[in-house]
Each structure stands twice: as structure tokens, then as C-alpha cells.
């Protein structure tokens, strides 16, 4: 394993452990503050096509953000891993969408939901293990989002959302690691 890959792996383990140990009340408080910050940058002000992850484990809970997007008339899309291409398919999401766990246990639309043209996406709300104040992102290591950024419109706004403790001073980056346009935490918008 290369030094960068080993460094990324160690950082993932450390940040996920910190995130897993956050008290639920602290998580809930930070989720509410992240939603307020997303509102302050205008995410909920106009109808958009928004790709957002369905939170898993101790990730920042996206349910309230999804509800607010739907209430304000945006079309919400969620990722589904295509087992044939190992890339992300973009699928329309409503609260009636049937979800099934994929191989890692993350919920995604079942196969009856058609994949959409990824170029319709205006905004992508990205998961991540860690981010920096200059909008670098450390994902989970599968490269799904980095590959997706190659076939999404280049002017689509990429927003990383996370808990404050997921902001780190620096990240080991490789050429394929994509940068966010914004990173939003409970206390900052970068």
C-alpha cells in the first residue's frame, strides 16, 4: 500500500471513530445548524435538481434536508451503485421510492427505479469522511463520487456537508480526488 493510501486509511479510521462516538444530541444539533447554513447559501430558495446521499451509520443525517428540498419544490435524486459499471446511477427520489440496502448496507433505490441523465443535476450534496477548509474531500475509498464528477455537468455545484469534527487541517490528495465548491459544517461555510 502506498504512503498516501495508508495515510488516507488511517485518517478514515480515526475520523469515523470520532464521528461514531459523538453523542446523539450533539449530532442532532449540528444537523440542524448545517441545514440552516445550507438555507443561508440559498439551497432551498429555488427549485433545483439536487443529488443528495442517503445517510448511513454516523454520517450527518440528510433526512431533514431532503424533506426541505422536496417541500420547496426541488427534484431530489439519490445515488445507486450500478453493479455492472461500478459507477453511480442518478435516481429520482420521493418518500415513496422503494429503498434496498446495497452490499455495504447503504440504502439506495431498488432496480425498478430508472437511472436518470446525470447532466440534469444542478447541485450535489456529497458525503465524506473528512474535509478541509479549502474544500478538499476524503471519501470512503471507493472512488464512486470522484468518478461521478467526470460525467456530471462541470457547472454543477458540489457541496460537502459534515460535522465540525470532520474538518482537518490537511488531507493527502491524489490527482483523481475532486474538490468541493463549498463545505458546510455546523459552524462554518468554506
Domains and CATH numbers, the chain: 3-184 (3.40.50.10420)
Per-residue pLDDT of the chain (190 residues; tens, 9 = 90+): 579 889 999 999 999 999 999 999 999 999 999 999 999 999 998 899 999 999 999 999 999 999 999 999 999 999 999 989 999 999 999 999 999 999 889 999 999 999 999 999 999 999 999 999 999 999 998 889 989 988 999 999 999 999 999 999 999 888 888 899 999 999 999 9
Residue 178 phi/psi, 5° resolution? -90, 145
Nearest to 137 by CA among 172, 163, 88, 90: 172
Amino acid at each position: 500500500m502506498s504512503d498516501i493510501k495508508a495515510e488516507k486509511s488511517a485518517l478514515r479510521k480515526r475520523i469515523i471513530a470520532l464521528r461514531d462516538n459523538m453523542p446523539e444530541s450533539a449530532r442532532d444539533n449540528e444537523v440542524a445548524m448545517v441545514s440552516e447554513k445550507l438555507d443561508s447559501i440559498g439551497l432551498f430558495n429555488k427549485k433545483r435538481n439536487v443529488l443528495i446521499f442517503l445517510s448511513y451509520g454516523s454520517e450527518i443525517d440528510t433526512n431533514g434536508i431532503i424533506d426541505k428540498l422536496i417541500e420547496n419544490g426541488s427534484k431530489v435524486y439519490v445515488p445507486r451503485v450500478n453493479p455492472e459499471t461500478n459507477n453511480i446511477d442518478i435516481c429520482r427520489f420521493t418518500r415513496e421510492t422503494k429503498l434496498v440496502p446495497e452490499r455495504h448496507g447503504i440504502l439506495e433505490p431498488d432496480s425498478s427505479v430508472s437511472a436518470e441523465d446525470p447532466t440534469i443535476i444542478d447541485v450535489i450534496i456529497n458525503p465524506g469522511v473528512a474535509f478541509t477548509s479549502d474544500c478538499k474531500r476524503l471519501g470512503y475509498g471507493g472512488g464512486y463520487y470522484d468518478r461521478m464528477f467526470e460525467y456530471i455537468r462541470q457547472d454543477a455545484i458540489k457541496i460537502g456537508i459534515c460535522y465540525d469534527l470532520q474538518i482537518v487541517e490537511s488531507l493527502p490528495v491524489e490527482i483523481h480526488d475532486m474538490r468541493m465548491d463549498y463545505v458546510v459544517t455546523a459552524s462554518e461555510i468554506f
